[in-house]
Amino acid sequence: MAKIVVLGGSFGGLTAAFELRRLLGRSADITVVSDDEKFVFLPSLPWLIIGKRRSGDITLKVQDILQPKGIKFINEAAGRVDPDASKVYTAKGEVPYDYLVISTGPHLSFDEIMGLGPDKGHTDCTFTLNHAVTTAQKWKRLIEDPGPVIVGSSQGVSCFGPSYELAFEFDAELRKMKMRHKVPVLYLTSEPYLGHMGVGGLGNSKRFIEDEFGEREIKSLVSQAIDEVAPNEIRLKDGTKLPFKLAVIAPPFKGVPAVASLGNPRGFIPVDKNYRNTKYANIFVIGVAMAIAPPEQTPVPTGVPKTGYMTVMMAKTAAAAIAAEIKNEPLPSPQELAVICLMDMGNTAAYMEARPVLPPRQKSVFAKSIFVKSLKTGFEKYFLWKMKHGLSNLP
C-alpha cells in the first residue's frame, strides 16, 4: 500500500488529500501533517478584521473532516524533510512516505525588516487567523482613538489582494461611521504601480485601482521598500517617514524552514508541469511553496501570488499525477494555471480573472459589480461546506 504524506492542512493540502482518497480509494495510506488544527477560510480574514465575521464562522476542525475519509492527521509542525530517506520528521517522530505533497504555504518573514510584525514589532497582519484577530482588536481601538492608517505590502511579498481589500473596506467602514475625515488612509506597496499585484497587471487594473483610490481619497506610495518600523512610524529606504495609528503590512514571503532546503535562495521549490519536484520524483509541491518566476523584474522585489483558486488547481493536478503513477496509468495533461479572484471593496466588489495567470494572456478581466459581493459571500459558504464534506471533486 502506497504511503502518501501531505504537508499542510489548508486549501492545497486538504484538496490533495481528499483527491488522493477519491482517486485511489482505500488502496493508499494517506496522512496529513499540519501544526494548525483548524482549516481557515483565509479570504474572509479581512472581514474578520472589520467585525463582519467571527473565528467560528470561517474555520473547520481538520481532524473532524479528515477522519470520515480515513485520512490520518498528525497535528504537528514538520521539523524537516529528508528527501533521500523519504521521511518527514516532527516532534513526535519520523513519518515515512512513498510520495510527499508539500503544501506548506509561506513563512512570514517579519524578521527581515526591523520592527515589522505583530509579535516582535509594531505592525499588524492579515495572513493568519491569530494575526487577524489581533488586528481586529487594533481596528476597534482606532475607531475609539482615530489617526492615520497605512495598509500595504513590503518588499518580497507575493500576495497583494488582502491589502487592497482592507484599504477599500477600512474606507467604507469609516464612511459608514461618519469618521473618514478623521482617518487618513495610505496604501503603501512594493508594486511598481497600483494594480500590478505581482503578475504584471491584469487588464485595466492599473487605471481601475487608481480611479477607485482617487474617488475614495486613498493616497498611495508605490515601488517602496521599508527600511524599519518604529512605534507609530514606518521608515522607508528613501528616508521618508510615515506616521500611523494602525499599520497592516504584508511581510516578505519565504519558503517554510522544514522544506526550504529543497528550493531556491528564498526557499521556494522548483517543479515541472505536474508540480513534481525537479530533483525528487516522489515529491510534489503546490501553492505558495512552489517557485514561479516573476513575469518581469521590478525595482523593488515582488513575488507571483498563488491564490486559493490556483492552489486548488495545483492540488488536483498533483493528486491526479500521483494516482496515475500508482495505478500505472498515463499521466493526465495538466490544465493551464489560471486565476479567479473576488475582491471586496466595501460598498461593492471586483471580479478578476486571468488565463493564464502570467502575461501574455488568452483572457483578462477586471470588472466591478455589486453582484460580485454576493458572489464572494456565497463562495465562502460553498467552499466551507465543500471542505467539511471532503467534496474536492466539485468545482
Catalogue the active-site residues: 159, 341
> Any idea what DSSP says for residue 97?
-
Inter-residue contact 183 to 174 (CB < 8 Å): yes
- In degrees, rounded to 5, the angle at the alpha carbon of residue 173 between the alpha carbons of residues 169 and 177 is 170
Contacts of 373 (CB under 8 A, 6+ apart): 344, 345, 348, 349
- Looking only at the bridges linking them, the beta strands covering 93-96 and 99-102 are unpaired
At 34, list the grid cell.
Answer: 499540519
Tell me which amino acid residue 199 is.
V
Say how far apart CA 210 and CA 307 lie, in whole Å: 23
Inter-residue contact 224 to 241 (CB < 8 Å): no
Say how far apart CA 27 and CA 17 lie, in whole Å: 13
At 189, list the grid cell.
Answer: 506597496
Phi, psi torsion values for 86, nearest 5 degrees: 55, 55
Inter-residue contact 226 to 154 (CB < 8 Å): yes
Inter-residue contact 148 to 244 (CB < 8 Å): yes
Say how far apart CA 79 and CA 88 lie, in whole Å: 8
